[in-house]
Structure 1
Amino acid sequence: MDIQSLISSLVPGRSFADLGGLWGTTNERISVALQAGAAAATMIDHQPLGNELWQEFDAHCARLGVSGYVSIQGDLDDPDLPHRLGQFEVLHCSGVIYHCPDPFHSLRQLRRLTGRHLLLGAMTVPEQVRNAAGAVDFSEGRMLALPALRGGALAVMQRHFDELHIKIPNINAPEREPWVLPDGMPNYSPWWWLFTVETLSAMAEAVGLRVVGSFESWAGYAHYIHCEVPE
């Protein structure tokens, strides 16, 4: 299973939204949904409408001959967002949840926005990370909060991501990201959490979603979790 095929199987005649899919253009799913027969499609992102990223997205869709979608500026963690937007029968959200300081709140928000299917994509780690720097155990619900990452665990995860050739601020990249912005609000740019697909699945179920399947993406460095809203 891959995410394009799953979206294409779920969206015909249904409303679809891609939340947080604006960064770049290669991972947006609006075009996939509309080409597969979605009744409506909405891109939701916190970026200000009309900025360079929105312009790139619009140009990308135009090249594909895709039109008729709705563009909305919105913050997943805004408590008013579900009241403002309502629900989407199929909601796609990838590359977002591990950037959220309070993932349970963010998952509850996704639950409120989902009418039937939530396709949740996230970077994940194995249950056991072992290398020359030592070992970190992520089994049985263990997670790492990156603001607290230091010492031996930091060395292990630095080596882990170095070996994957992935550079992450506050772990193994030369630049660092502040956890709090100058206005006192949390910074959503850095990764805040490391978790396994099993832990993320259990978290989704804890907020009232039913996990019906999961599969690897990005050569196994990430996973998608397919959740449904119980009837």
Structure 2
Amino acid sequence: MLFPALRHRLSRAVPPREQLIARHVEGRSFLDVGCMWSIDGALSFAAEDAGASRVTGIDIMPPTPAYEAEHARRGSSMRFVAGDLHDPETLAEAGVHDVVWCSGVLYHAPHPLLTLERLKAFAGQTLILATETLPLRGNQCVFAPEPGAHPTHSEPFDPDAGYVNWYWGISPGALRAMLTATGLELVEEHRTVYHTTVVARPR
């Protein structure tokens, strides 16, 4: 088993997420898809700090106490929408935004092409997508990867666990192919061994 510090180093995003968001959001509306789990709205608040004109967060889980406390402390105008990004009602309530950020979602999605299509529908100009990936050749994906296939993946597949599962181990090449298949043009790609962040725009 890898030590926690090594696990973190192998999977962390490059460049830092706050810096990447700041490069794109000034004066533009920003939507954070999956804004609560283990992060408590932190990247939505970072987008506010970077000058986003309007900030919305979406998550299937309710607002966390840490998020609510920070929202109040800041006097934040961020709007939270509880819902599944695959639900048309969630799209209708949240609306299209100039910049969409989505991290840690794609490999938990049973149907990743559908997930990318939904993200594209939210993104007026730019999609920034961060996902754990596996160093596989070509366009390969692994369905329900075994625990340990990725340094941060330790739970066995549970059919009753829904989005908690790692449905996919996605290679960077497969991710690029998925973007193309859903009508998204790759603009930037940032990779570590086990993590990929892309900036894309609807074609």
Match of 1:222 in 2: 195
Q: Any residues of structure 2 matched to 1:16-95 within 5 Å, and which?
A: 16-25=30-39, 28-48=42-62, 53=64, 55-63=65-73, 65=74, 67-95=76-104
CA distance in 2, matches of 1:66, 1:36: 16
Equivalent pair of 2:134/2:193 in contact (CA under 8 Å): no
**In structure 2, do the counterparts of structure 1 residues 62 and 85 end up closer, same or farther at CA, with 3 Å as the change threshold?**
closer
Classify the secondary structure of the residue corresponding to 2:186: strand
1:123 aligns with 2:132: yes
CA distance in 2, matches of 1:24, 1:59: 15
CA distance in 1, matches of 2:42, 2:131: 14
Q: Deviations over 1:164-192 (max 9, x none)?
A: 4x34211xxxxxx52236xxxxx111100
1:66 shift after superposition:
5.5
Match of 1:132 in 2: none
The Cα RMSD (Å) is 2.1
Match of 1:184 in 2: none
Equivalent pair of 2:140/2:174 in contact (CA under 8 Å): yes
Higher relative contact order (CA 8 A, sep 6+): 2
Match of 1:188 in 2: 163
Classify the secondary structure of the residue corresponding to 1:91: strand
Decide which moves more: 2-11 or 36-45. 2-11
Match of 2:179 in 1: 204
**In structure 2, do the counterparts of structure 1 residues 76 and 198 end up closer, same or farther at CA, with 3 Å as the change threshold?**
same
1:12 aligns with 2:26: yes
1:81 shift after superposition:
2.7
Q: Deviations over 1:37-76 (max 9, x none)?
A: 100101111113x5xx2x211223445x351110110101
1:199 shift after superposition:
1.1
1:94 shift after superposition:
0.2
CA distance in 2, matches of 1:57, 1:27: 6
**TM (normalized to structure 2)?**
0.84
Q: Deviations over 1:69-95 (max 9, x none)?
A: 101101012133323332110000000
Match of residue 169, structure 1, among 136, 155, 163: 155
What is the letter of the counterpart of residue 197 of structure 2?
Y
Equivalent pair of 1:31/1:66 in contact (CA under 8 Å): no
CA distance in 2, matches of 1:6, 1:16: 13
Stretches of structure 1 that go unaligned for 5 or more consecutive residues are 128-138, 171-176, 182-186
How many residue pairs are counted as aligned between the two chains? 189
Stretches of structure 2 that go unaligned for 5 or more consecutive residues are 1-14
The alignment-based identity, stated in percent, is 29
**TM (normalized to structure 1)?**
0.74
